[in-house]
Chains A and B, each alone.
Chain A
Amino acid sequence: MKEILLKIEKLKVKANGKEILKGVNLQIKRGEVQALLGPNASGKSTLAQVILGNPKYKITGGKILFNPASEKIRYGKREKELINITKFSPEKRVKFGLSLVWQSSPAIKGVRLSQLLEKISQRKIKIQEAEGLLEREINLGFSGGEKKISELLQAISLNPKLVIFDEIDSGLDIKRLESVSKIIRKELINKNVSILLITHWGQILNYLKPDLTNVILGGGIICKEKDYKKVLRTIKKYGYEKCKKCKLR
């Protein structure tokens, strides 16, 4: 049985006085690929930012548990090794093995992508699609596709245990989506790294075939289904608004 890497229990989150997440439960095992689908403003990106520790969001209830220990220590002590990471800074969470691919990443003027990579990791990852980006200023004037490649390269360089992809498929054409999916499979999934794919449209699921698909609506996860095709079909047929009445629930 695969061990649990991330366990979110009854997570409640506020931002600017408004409750965004209203008791989210989510569990991801080592090496597992999960998807999180939801319409705009359902809380998808908030969940990603909160897991990484963005101080803009205030946790009003619940826990985020993560297993940061190394293989040797963890052996035989699976559940006990989970620790509540809500008190840890984002950079500490990254060191535990969490990584986030941002949906909309800011530009860092005057700093080359290669400079940042040297600073955050000793691993040298070669991705053909990223070669033209290395000597450019981070995200400055990058196209949508270039930003996604840059994000992916940074996430892989961090040697993560779990990568959260916040809408990596938005704004990508079919060809680019296919190549991004191949990189994710080769560099992460095949190396037993866990994945949480946050997506609005769900196209990327056809390439990465998640083990479990979650649907978030109104700040809570309302559906968990092993067959992602069923979920995509249902959403296509009824739309997110009718998910509450869905037969899959």
Chain B
Amino acid sequence: MAMKSVKNVNSVSGKGSLTEMWKKQSFREVNFWQVDHKVKNIFEVKGITIMSSPDAWRKFSWTRKFFGEKPKEGYFIWVKRETDFPLMTCITISSPKISQDLRNLLVIEKNIKAKANVICNAKEKFLCGKHLARGKVILKEGVFLEYNHIHKWGKKDNVFPDYEFTLEKGARLIYNYQNLFPPENLEFKTKIHSGERTSSNLNFIVNSLNSKTKIKDSVFLEGKNSQTVVRLRLVGRKRGQIEAVSQIFAKAPGKGHLDCQGLLVDKTAKISLIPQLVCQNKEAQITHEASIGKISEEELIYLATRGLSEKEAIDLIVSGFLKKIK
């Protein structure tokens, strides 16, 4: 399948916030926007190369080692210069029974501070789409990246993201994932390779409502004095099933902590949570805490005596549960 590319090269002085853009549904300023299989818009800025992955495969032979195989679709973003606004990508399913197979690559050059807002969504609730995304994010020496990954899917979609982050010496990563509307099936894998003196802070907020969700996140502390903190907040709503495996492998003398908490909101929900620590270095310090709880009847009654309906009370309690991570 050939991809059609539309390229608008502009210079920009600033951008609206993610929330603003989301509210207005204005995607004009999205750096890379793909709808179904078509690249709808590329918004390139000075010092940042943005193109489709097949184009990058052809144009930059060095990207081939990251892609592995020739990509069919997806984006390539190469940040060579710092900007004072966030990068924004959006991959949308807008037609029925679309099956996306994306290979995304984000490379950030040395000592650059960047922020990326990455949105994957379905335009409607019942498109029965499939979204398979394999992504690699390369943070070169001294890079700082805040990566906000937001999912908003339809009720019958199947979604399979598989992302791998490589943190070179001294790089720092803040990764925030949130699924606002869960798909029917979500299988989500994240790997972090942490080099010397790197730090990563991973925050996952997962809602499961009439959906099956499998999450596996693995952090490999490979360089000396690398650090990580992983926080999972899992909310099991009506007929929501979540299986989460959160791992830290300490191969070098680093520090890591897993903080995994689940909240069962509905009696038909199920959460399975496995924190795993694998230590291969006697000087490494890795720890974990994990719990799954339910909303107490007393809290619900208490809030009912403040005039809140059960739904309002649950939403408030869940917002409090998730707040610790935001």
Residues of B within 8 A of A110 (CB): 319-324
Is there an interface contact between B305 and A119, defined as CB atoms closer than 8 Å?
A: no
Taking the complex as formed, is A102 at the interface, i.e. its CB lies under 8 A from any CB of chain B?
yes
Is there an interface contact between B309 and A105, defined as CB atoms closer than 8 Å?
A: no
Give the size of the chain B interface in residues (CB under 8 angstroms).
Answer: 22
> Which chain B residues numbered 263 to 296 have a C-beta less than 8 Å away from chain A?
296
Is there an interface contact between B302 and A116, defined as CB atoms closer than 8 Å?
A: no
> Which chain B residues numbered 243 to 258 have a C-beta less than 8 Å away from chain A?
none
Q: Is the interface of A mostly helix, strand, loop or mixed?
A: mixed
Known: A94-B306, A119-B308, A120-B307. A56 touches B301 (CB 8 A): yes
Known: A56-B301, A105-B302, A106-B302. A111 touches B316 (CB 8 A): yes
Is there an interface contact between B301 and A91, defined as CB atoms closer than 8 Å?
A: no
Nearest to B299 among chain A residues (CB) is A106
Residues of A within 8 A of B296 (CB): 106
Q: Which of B302, B312, B319 has the most CB of A within 10 A?
A: B302
Residues of A within 8 A of B323 (CB): 110-111
Taking the complex as formed, is A95 at the interface, i.e. its CB lies under 8 A from any CB of chain B?
yes
Is there an interface contact between B320 and A108, defined as CB atoms closer than 8 Å?
A: yes
Give the size of the chain A interface in residues (CB under 8 angstroms).
Answer: 26
Taking the complex as formed, is A21 at the interface, i.e. its CB lies under 8 A from any CB of chain B?
no
Write the nearest CB–CB distance from B314 to chain A, whole angstroms: 12
Is there an interface contact between B316 and A102, defined as CB atoms closer than 8 Å?
A: no
Is there an interface contact between B305 and A102, defined as CB atoms closer than 8 Å?
A: yes
Question: Please, what's the 1-or-0 string for A153-168, where 1 marks a CB less than 8 Å from any CB in chain B?
Answer: 0100010000000000
User: How many angstroms from the CA of A105 to the CA of B210 in the assembled complex?
Assistant: 33
Write the nearest CB–CB distance from B295 to chain A, whole angstroms: 10
Known: A108-B317, A108-B320, A119-B316. A91 touches B304 (CB 8 A): yes
Is there an interface contact between B324 and A116, defined as CB atoms closer than 8 Å?
A: no
Residues of B within 8 A of A85 (CB): none
> Which chain A residues numbered 14 to 66 have a C-beta less than 8 Å away from chain B?
52-56
Is there an interface contact between A91 and B298, defined as CB atoms closer than 8 Å?
A: no
Is there an interface contact between A158 and B303, defined as CB atoms closer than 8 Å?
A: no
Query: Can you list the 6 inter-chain pairs with the closest CB atoms, starting with the nearest?
Result: A110-B320, A90-B304, A111-B320, A94-B307, A110-B323, A120-B306
A-B contact pairs, 30 of them (CB 8 A): A52-B305, A53-B304, A54-B301, A54-B305, A56-B297, A89-B304, A89-B309, A94-B304, A94-B305, A99-B305, A102-B305, A106-B296, A106-B298, A106-B299, A106-B302, A108-B299, A109-B321, A110-B319, A110-B320, A110-B321, A110-B324, A119-B308, A119-B312, A119-B316, A120-B306, A120-B308, A137-B320, A154-B306, A158-B306, A158-B307
